[in-house]
Structure formats: structure tokens, C-alpha cells
Amino acid sequence: MKTRGSVTLFISLLLAVILGVFQVLFQSLRIAGGRVQAEAGVEEGLYSVFSGYHRELFDSYRVFFLDAGYGSAGFRPDIMLNIVEDSLGQSCYTGKRENLWNCSHGMSAVTGYTLATDNNGAAFFEQAVDYMKDTLGIQGIQLLADQLVQQKSTVEEQKIQGDYDRAKEAQEVYEQKKEEQTAVENTDAGNGQHTPADPDTAAVPQVQVPAGFQNPLDVIRQVQQMGLLGLVFPADRQLSQAEVRLEELPSHRELEKGMGSGIAVSDQGMAHQLLFLQYMMKHLGSFEKENAQEGLRYQLEYVIGGKGSDRENLECVVKELLAVRTAANMVHLLRDAGKQSQVHQMALIIGSAVGLPFLEGVISLALQAAWAFGESVLDIRCLLDGGKIPLVKDTGSWQLSLENLGKILEILKGDTDVQDQGMTYSQYLQLLLFLKDSQTRTERTMDVAEQQIRAGGQENFSLDHCVYSLEVEMGVRCGNREFTILRSYGYGM
């Protein structure tokens, strides 16, 4: 009997140990399972948060962002956190609503997030570039790069020419000398005196001035003082009167800032800049291609000008086009021997007409600047009317003769001579955008995107309330164990 009792006691003790081990194992498995389930719940919650991306922003601009304002004027990260908390709570229950894992969530917090406007719009820039990579392809990028780099080099080469600067100075000298000569003549006429000829000017040859001669320098001076946009704007188009309040745009107001390190674009080299440039050309409207019913319609022009109205932005573009075209036309004049001879002859006539024959050299330079300006005005009118203008002209593509320079106002009132060789208005816009710095392009593109979403009826929409990535820390209790789960997710992950 003692032996049987010993065996029974041994078996009981053994069963107790086994049951204890199983209990420990079950508890450990329950805690481990609960942890896995809680982690899955947090991740599912983050997925749920980011599945609510802003549909209109994606449809119009192909970028993914979550509007953390949720239709309100405020910034509501608490709503994102509540979604994750609900997902965590639901993950702890089985289909019968039983808390099989004995889990519950404790303290939780948003520990980091990145906004669309952080780091000068780095997230917006990166998504736009990624989209264009898939759309354009490597060969398209290389072709575009070769074309734009060549155009930029041509423009920069023209801008460093000192001849145009000297010609502009010659215009000022001519105007000053002419005013001085007029003042002397008026004084002498009032006193009944005659000023003797300067011995230095007596040797300068005088030429006969044609009857009815109209000094083209006086006409160009008059044109330069007029509103340029009114001279070149097509007669059959209506100028947009749209305006915005600049202080309400992201690039002008105080922005909400993200938490944490945020996103930094690793590559903003030439290829990425060109891709973003093509993104702008594809998604933003312009004078040539209006794609907006409300708000600013000349959107590419806004990126260049940065003004609060379509009129002002188009004026800025016209002025920049004038600078590019005048420099290019000046280079052509300086290289064309035939036109140089015409300038010399006309300068002698002008000098004789105004009583300043000794200023033939100065007048020649001023006349070249005036001629280049007049040709550029016709160029811009042609571009706005849908025509093309070569970046570098030759004799065949030159429009304005020197004899007609003084009749330019009459020419501008007539029909536009639309050419079909060269670059279009959009291509010139692309070149002007390429000459802008990257930060300006990105920020003003975001201005346009936000303004257009607001104009579409969502007046509370703000890009600095749009989340790109989110990090949360969730406290979890399983039985008598407590732990935290740190997870992050975003559209770039």
C-alpha cells in the first residue's frame, strides 16, 4: 500500500508540474499571440488611415496625401490616432466578440508625421518625380535634357553679351544729347542768336534727310513707354481677370510643421529637375492651355511671375520673353553684315535729322537696340497668337525691316504674321521655368494645387495639413504584461 501511495503521489506531483508548465506555456503563447495580434491591428489601422487619401488631389495632380483636416479648417492628428486605436481594439477580439488574447490598449500617441509642405515640399516633389518617371521613361528624359540644356546655354550665352548693354547705354546717351541739343536750340531761338558749329562736328558728313522722315528711335521710345501686354495681346482673346490673395497661399503664409525628421529628397539633380518641369507642363494650365474654370488660369505664368492675378503674371512672362528675345535678336543683328550696313546708313540720317551727326556711333548702337526691341515685340505677339519663333534667328526668319521700324505701331494694329518654324509659346515657358530655381518651382506649384482644390468647393483644404507619413506609439496590456508598439507608415514606404 505504501508503494501504491508513493506512485500516486509521484503521478500527482508530475501532473501538477506538467499542468504548471502547460499553464506557463499557454500564458506565454497567449501573450505572444496577443502581441502579434496587436501589432497587426496597429498596422491595419495605419493602412486604414492612409487609405483615406485625398481623391481630388490625386485625380488632378497624381500625388498621394491624407487630408488630416478631414474637411475642417484645423489640423486633426487625433482623428488619425483614433482610427489606429479602434483597429487595435478590434484586433484583440475574435469573430464572437470575445477577447481571446486578453488584450487592451493603454496610452497611445502620435510621435511623428511628415506634411506635404515640409522641407520646401520635398514629399510633393518626390511623388511628382516618381510619377513622371513612370510616364515619360528614360529615353524621353534624356531627349528633354539635351534640348533644354542646349536652349539654356544659348540664352545664357546671349545674356552675357556686352554689346546689348552698351546699346542700351547708347540709347540713354542719345536721349540725353538730344534733350541738350533741343534745349540749346530753344534758348538760341528765344534770344535770336545762332550757336556756331562745333569745330569737331564740322567735319562730320551730313546726309540728306528724306521728306516725311520719321525718326524710328522716337517711335520706339514711345512704344517702350506703353503697356507692352496691350500691344502684343491677341485681338480675338479675352484676358483672364482671375485673382487670388497671395497671403493665403502656402508659399506666403505661416505653415504647420511636421514632427520628426521628415523626408529629404536624396536626388534633386538635373534629371529630377527636368522630370518635375515636365510634371508642371502636364498638370498646370497656361495662357496657351487654360485648364481651370475657377481661380488662376495662367498657372505656369504664376510659377514664373508669382503675382496675385493672371494679368500681372502674364505681364511678367511677356517682360521675360522680351528680355530673352531682345538679347537673341541683338546677337543676330551684330552678326549680320547687311543689317549692320543698313544701321550705319540710318544712323547718319537720324544724326542729320536731329542735328547730332557727330553721334553716328552712339546712334548706331541705339538703333540696333531699338531694332532688336521692335523685332522682339513682333515675336511675342506671334507667340501669343499661336505661332513659333526660333530661339536663334537667321535672315529668313527676321520679320521687321529697318525701314518699317518707325511704323511698328501700325504693323501691330494689323494681322499677325504667324510663323510655323521654331519654338512655341509653351516651349518658351518651359525654358523660362527651367531658368527658375527648384524651390520656387515646387512651392508655387503647390500654391496652384491648393488654390485649385479650394476653388473646387473645398475652401478649408490646406496642403500643410496633408500628411505624407505617420508614426504612432501604442501602449498594449496582455494579461499582466505591458509593452509598446512603435509603427510608422506613409505613401513613400
Q: How many CA atoms lie within 13 A of 183 on its CB side?
A: 6
From CA 294, how far away is CA 455, in angstroms rounded?
A: 6
- Give the β-pairing of 466-478 and 481-490: antiparallel
pLDDT at 7: 67
Strand partners, 110: 472
Which neighbouring-strand residues pair with 109?
473
pLDDT for 149: 65
On whether the CB atoms of residues 88 and 101 are closer than 8 A, the answer is no
- Give every CB contact of residue 480 below 8 A, 6+ residues apart in sequence: none
* DSSP code per residue over 299-311: HHHHHHH--SBHH
When computed from its CA atoms, the radius of gyration of the chain, rounded to whole angstroms, is 37
Residue holding cell 510643421? 257
pTM as predicted: 0.85
- What is residue 490's three-state secondary structure? strand
d(CA 381, CA 322): 11
Q: What is the reported pLDDT for 8?
A: 79
Which pLDDT belongs to residue 160? 44
What is the reported pLDDT for 492? 80
Positions in the chain short of pLDDT 50: 1, 160, 194-197, 199-202
Among residues 80, 70, 86, the alpha carbon closest in space to that of 49 is found at 80
Q: Using alpha carbons, list the distances in angstroms from residue 339 to 95, 219, 418.
A: 89, 19, 23
Task: Please report which helix (H) or strand (E) contains residue 277, including its range.
Answer: helix 270-283
Q: What single string gives the DSSP state of each residue in 179-210? A: HHHHHHHHHHHHHT--PPPPHHHHTSPP-PPP
